[in-house]
Amino acid sequence: MIGTTKKPLEEILQALAGYEKIAVVGCDGCAKVCMTGGLDQVKELAATLKEEGKEVTVEVSPERTCNIMHSRNFLNPCKDQIAAADAMIVLGCGGAVQIARQTTEEMGLTIPVKVGLDSVGHMDMVIPGVMAMEQCQECGQCILNETGGICPVTKCAKSLLNGPCGGSENGKCEVDPDRDCAWVLIYNRMAALGELEQLKRYMEPKDYSKMAKPRVLYIKEGRCA
Amino acid sequence: MKLTELFQKKTFVITGEVGPVKGCSRLNGGPPPDYIKEALDIKDYVHAVNITDNQGATMRLGALAASVLTKQFGLEPIFQITCRDRNRLAIQSDLLAACTLGIDNVLCLTGDHIKIGDHKSAKPVFDIDSVQMLKIAAGLNAGHDMMGNKLSQATNLALGAAANPNFEPLDLQLMKMEKKVAAGCEFFQTQPVYEPKQFETFMKKAEKLGVPVMFGMVVIKSPGMAKFINDNVTGITVPEAWIKELDSVPKADYKKKATAMTIALLKEIAPMCQGIHFMPFGWSDIIPEVLAAIRPSFPQ
């Protein structure tokens, strides 16, 4: 999922300064799981905006706002309420905000679409409802087959491909003593699997052209460019 | 002069280390900057001096400019180059620049993370790692860039790398060293250890790589410094026994005691390795005494 955190209310109010009628849109996908932008948080923000003297024209939370199909299905029926708004605020990831904007444009509406959350990465839930962590950078060249299913590109602070740096100490990272050194994790995993020999292989520099933004996924062709 | 030439002649190699200043070093007819003065203090006792590269991820005068200036003052610099602040184009370009400007030795390092330095919001680069940098540098020495494009003139650089005898698991450290050697590393400088047995364990494995190893010596100047290192510098651990022994004398005698302890340690260490890399942190003046005392322990 895409991890999100709430922007401070001050920042949201600043983004909405000068706009009186607000459409509040959430996302019942990842943001719901992060407890930042599901329908509950949409209602909370709407109540706060009302306390601040704003008028809320609609409170809605598509199943996955980042998917244009869902955004259309949820937002098109609310077109009149959205058209009545001076601005829309989206409690979703940056992708959800831009798909919501696309949806308003498809409706022929030209209203500012603001973001109420900060997107903080591709997160995997490791303790349900408590903690998610970044484990994949979507680098376009997965090397998990070579590293015991543990990603050094993401879990090593320096994304090192050929082993640990000199800053690793007692199995912990130089950047954060509470964080495991990815390379010690990889080494221990490969040792347990009896595959340490494989770890001795030189890893070539990554091909960062596979991460050149903005990437486009052609689903039917199974191709990313 | 390439350090590799000294190792080939079986010379026991001595190096020092200085850190460029936070500021410009144009001389304008004035005295040399502090890091040059520090290097000049040990000029007659070392074969070369490492010039650190934005050490501790703290922005300073570039290591290449400082290396060139060091050479102009008659010392042999070892240009430290890290992966933290340069992508693969910049690394290759700086290695070509280094050779062009008369640098003969480079130490290829990963680099401390941005987060421990003074520009914490900077974007860390780490486009390539130290093993890959060594392989790329070896390619430049062979006359081609990392894409295989021919160079109009090849570099001629001695390629060094770092190693950490403190690392656990040690075999993982050895695995990385093995990769470095296969990539083109011609000598190692280590992090310090303060127990000869620990270094012996390390060297029994490292000597199989067939590449000269220089023992890194950080002189512990006070119990406070040891505590600071243990609390803040990853990769180095000063044992409690070392701290206790240093603390057994009055503060005024720390320097004398630290010198004696350094000598005792290096007498045991020197026979196991091919050189010593001093990181004296302002106590360059003890190096002559230390060297005079340990010279008989150098391997023949």
Q: Is the CB of B90 inside 8 Å of chain A's CB atoms?
A: no
Residue by residue, pLDDT tens for chain B (300 residues) are 999 999 999 999 999 999 999 999 999 999 999 999 999 999 999 999 999 999 999 999 999 999 999 999 999 999 999 999 999 999 999 999 999 999 999 999 999 999 999 999 999 999 999 999 999 999 999 999 999 999 999 999 999 999 999 999 999 999 999 999 999 999 999 999 999 999 999 999 999 999 999 999 999 999 999 999 999 888 899 999 999 999 999 999 999 999 999 999 999 999 999 999 999 888 988 999 999 999 999 987
Q: Tell me the DSSP string of B11-44.
A: --EEEEEE---SS----TTSPPPHHHHHHHHTTT
C-beta atoms of A166 and B235 within 8 A: yes
Task: Report the distance separating Cα B118 and Cα B79, nearest Å.
Answer: 22
C-beta atoms of B128 and A205 within 8 A: yes
Nearest CA of chain A to the CA of B175: how many Å?
A: 6
Each residue's pLDDT tens digit, A37-74: 999 999 999 999 999 999 999 999 999 999 999 999 99
Q: What's the pLDDT score for residue B133?
A: 98
Mean of per-residue pLDDT scores for chain A? 97
Tokens of B261: 């302890």
**Cβ-contact B3, B105 below 8 angstroms:** yes
Nearest CA of chain A to the CA of B129: how many Å?
A: 6
Treating both helix axes as pointing N-terminal to C-terminal, what angle do B130-141 and B88-100 enclose, rounded to 10 degrees? 50
Q: What's the pLDDT score for residue B161?
A: 98
Task: Report the distance separating Cα A199 and Cα A187, nearest Å.
Answer: 8
Each residue's pLDDT tens digit, A15-41: 999 999 999 999 999 999 999 999 999
CB pairs under 8 A between A and B: 96
pLDDT at A213 over 80: yes
Residue type, A70: H
C-beta atoms of B110 and A163 within 8 A: no
**Cβ-contact A4, A121 below 8 angstroms:** no
Length of chain B: 300
Tokens of A160: 């090192």
Q: Is the CB of B128 inside 8 Å of chain A's CB atoms?
A: yes
CA nearest A111: which of A189, A22, A48? A22
Nearest CA of chain A to the CA of B172: how many Å?
A: 7
Q: What's the pLDDT score for residue B280?
A: 87
Q: Tell me the DSSP string of chain A.
A: -EEEEEPPHHHHHHHTTT--EEEEE--TTHHHHTTSSSHHHHHHHHHHHHHTT-EEEEEE--S-TTSHHHHHHHHGGGHHHHHT-SEEEE-S-HHHHHHHHHHHHHTT----EEE-EEEEEEEEEEETTTEEEE-----SS--TTTTTT--HHHHSTT--SSS--TT-BTTB-SS-TTSBPHHHHHHHHHHHHT-HHHHTSPPPPP-GGGGPSSP-EETTTTEE-
Q: Which of B112, B115, B169 sits opposite A187 (nearest CB)?
A: B169
Q: Cα torsion at B263, B267, B273, B277 (round to 10°)?
A: 10
Nearest CA of chain A to the CA of B74: how many Å?
A: 31
Residues whose CB falls within 8 Å of the CB of residue A212, separated by 6 or more in sequence, listed in order: none
Q: What's the pLDDT score for residue A30?
A: 97
Structural domains of chain A sorted by starting position, each given as residue range(s) with its CATH number in brackets: 2-121 (3.40.50.2300), 135-218 (no CATH)
C-beta atoms of B167 and A205 within 8 A: no
Q: Which residues of A touch B125 (CB under 8 A)?
A: none
Q: Tell me the DSSP string of B207-272.
A: GGG-S-EEEEEE----HHHHHHHHHH-TT----HHHHHHHTTS-GGGHHHHHHHHHHHHHHHHGGG
Q: What's the pLDDT score for residue B282?
A: 85
Q: Is the CB of B173 inside 8 Å of chain A's CB atoms?
A: yes
Task: Report the distance separating Cα A201 and Cα A207, nearest Å.
Answer: 17
* Angle formed at CA B243 by CA B238 and CA B247, multiple of 5 degrees: 160
Structural domains of chain B sorted by starting position, each given as residue range(s) with its CATH number in brackets: 3-297 (3.20.20.220)
Q: Which residues of A touch B56 (CB under 8 A)?
A: none
Tokens of B284: 């360059």
Task: Report the distance separating Cα A25 and Cα A35, nearest Å.
Answer: 14
Task: Report the distance separating Cα A188 and Cα A15, nearest Å.
Answer: 48
Residue type, A203: M
Map tokens 């020092």 to a residue.
B16
pTM of the shown model:
0.95
- Tell which of A146, A162, A187, A199 to mutate to test the B interface (max B CBs under 10 Å): A162
Residue A157 neighbours by CB distance under 10 Å: 21
Nearest CA of chain B to the CA of A199: how many Å?
A: 8
Percent of chain A with pLDDT over 70: 100
Q: What's the pLDDT score for residue B8?
A: 98
CA nearest B235: which of A115, A169, A152, A179? A169
Q: What's the pLDDT score for residue B92?
A: 98
C-beta atoms of B83 and A167 within 8 A: no
Q: Is the CB of A157 inside 8 Å of chain B's CB atoms?
A: yes
> Which whole number is the average pLDDT over A117-127?
97
Half-sphere exposure of A196 (CA within 13 A, CB side): 14
Q: What's the pLDDT score for residue B235?
A: 87
Q: Tell me the DSSP string of B181-202.
A: HHHT--EEEEPP-S-HHHHHHH
pLDDT at A205 over 90: yes
Each residue's pLDDT tens digit, A171-184: 999 999 999 999 99
